Amino acid sequence: MQMGVENGEGAIAIKDKYKQSLGISSDADAGKTSKCFDDDGRSKRTGSVWTASAHIITAVIGSGVLSLAWAIAQLGWIAGPTVMLLFSFVTYYTAALLADCYRSGDPVTGKRNYTYMEAVESNLGGLKVKMCGLIQYLNLFGTAIGYTIAASISMMAIKRTNCFHESGGKNPCHISSNPYMILFGITEIIFSQIPDFDQIWWLSIIAAVMSFTYSSIGLALGIAKVAANGTISGSLTGVRIGTVTQAQKIWGSFQALGDISFAYSYSMILIEIQDTIKSPPSEAKTMKKATLLSVGVTTAFYMLCGCMGYAAFGDLSPGNLLTGFGIFNPFWLLDIANAAIVIHLVGAYQVYSQPLFAFVEKWAADKWPGNEFIIKEIKIPIPGFRPYNLNLFRLVWRTVFVIVSTVISMLLPFFNDVVGLLGAIGFWPLTVYIPVEMYIAQKKIAKWSSRWMCLQLLSIACLIISFAAAAGSIAGVVLDLKIYKPFQTSF
Lowest mean pLDDT among 163-167, 187-191, 251-255: 163-167
pLDDT grade, residue 167 (50/70/90)?
A: low
pLDDT for the residue 422: 67
Q: CA 33, CA 7: separation in Å to the nearest integer?
A: 19
- DSSP class of residue 37? B
Q: CA 483, CA 465: separation in Å to the nearest integer?
A: 28
94: part of which helix (H) or strand (E)?
Answer: helix 68-99
- Which one is predicted more confidently, 301 or 72? 72
Helix, strand, coil percent values for the chain (each to nearest 5): 70, 5, 25
pLDDT grade, residue 198 (50/70/90)?
A: low
pLDDT grade, residue 3 (50/70/90)?
A: very low
- Which one is predicted more confidently, 196 or 431? 431
Beta strand ranges found along 5-160 (DSSP E): 103-104, 111-112
Q: Pinpoint the alpha helices (H) of 319-449.
A: 331-367, 372-375, 392-411, 415-426, 434-443
Q: CA 325, CA 336: separation in Å to the nearest integer?
A: 13
| Averaged pLDDT for residues 372-397 | 81
List the domain boundaries for the chain.
66-482
Bond into 281 cis (ω within 30): yes
What's the mean per-residue pLDDT of the chain?
77
Q: CA 210, CA 339: separation in Å to the nearest integer?
A: 9
| Length of the chain measured in residues | 491
Whole-prediction pTM: 0.72
Tell me which residue of 427, 435, 426, 469 sits closest to 455, measured CA to CA. 435
Q: Are 188 and 402 in contact (CB under 8 A)?
A: yes
pLDDT tens-place string over residues 221-263: 888 888 888 888 878 888 887 777 887 788 888 878 877 877 7
φ/ψ of residue 47, rounded to 5: -65, 155
Q: CA 210, CA 191: separation in Å to the nearest integer?
A: 17
Q: Are 121 and 129 in contact (CB under 8 A)?
A: yes
Tell me which residue of 424, 468, 457, 418 sits closest to 75, measured CA to CA. 468
Q: CA 447, CA 161: separation in Å to the nearest integer?
A: 60
User: ∠214-218-219 over CA atoms, to 5°?
Assistant: 115
pLDDT at 16 over 50: no
pLDDT grade, residue 171 (50/70/90)?
A: low
388: part of which helix (H) or strand (E)?
Answer: strand 388-390
pLDDT for the residue 455: 92
| Averaged pLDDT for residues 368-375 | 82
- Exposed, middle or buried: residue 326 (CB in 10 Å: 0-12, 13-18, 19+)? middle
Tell me which residue of 481, 468, 460, 457 sits closest to 424, measured CA to CA. 468
pLDDT grade, residue 5 (50/70/90)?
A: very low
Q: Cα 167 vs. chain centroid, distance in angstroms?
A: 38
Q: Are 63 and 150 in contact (CB under 8 A)?
A: yes
pLDDT at 320 over 80: no
pLDDT tens-place string over residues 85-119: 998 888 889 888 888 888 877 777 778 888 888 88
Tell me which residue of 430, 482, 466 sits closest to 128, measured CA to CA. 430
pLDDT at 211 over 80: no
Per-residue burial over 142-159, b if 16 or more Cβ lie within 10 Å, else e, is bbbbbbbbbbbbbbbbbb
Q: Are 439 and 97 in contact (CB under 8 A)?
A: yes
pLDDT grade, residue 354 (50/70/90)?
A: confident
pLDDT for the residue 169: 58
Q: How far is CA 76 from CA 71, 72, 266, in A?
A: 9, 6, 26
φ/ψ of residue 378, rounded to 5: -100, 120
pLDDT for the residue 27: 43
pLDDT tens-place string over residues 58-72: 766 665 677 788 888
For the chain, give the percent of residues with pLDDT over 90: 5
Q: CATH number of the domain at 66-482, please?
A: 1.20.1740
Tell me which residue of 129, 128, 97, 102 sits closest to 113, measured CA to CA. 102
Q: CA 355, CA 269: separation in Å to the nearest integer?
A: 7
Q: Which of 65-69, 255-259, 439-443, 477-481 has maximum average pLDDT? A: 439-443
Lowest mean pLDDT among 10-14, 155-159, 395-399: 10-14
pLDDT grade, residue 336 (50/70/90)?
A: confident
Provide CB contacts within 8 A for 262, sequence distance 6+. Answer: 64, 67, 146, 419, 420, 422, 423, 426, 427
pLDDT for the residue 11: 39
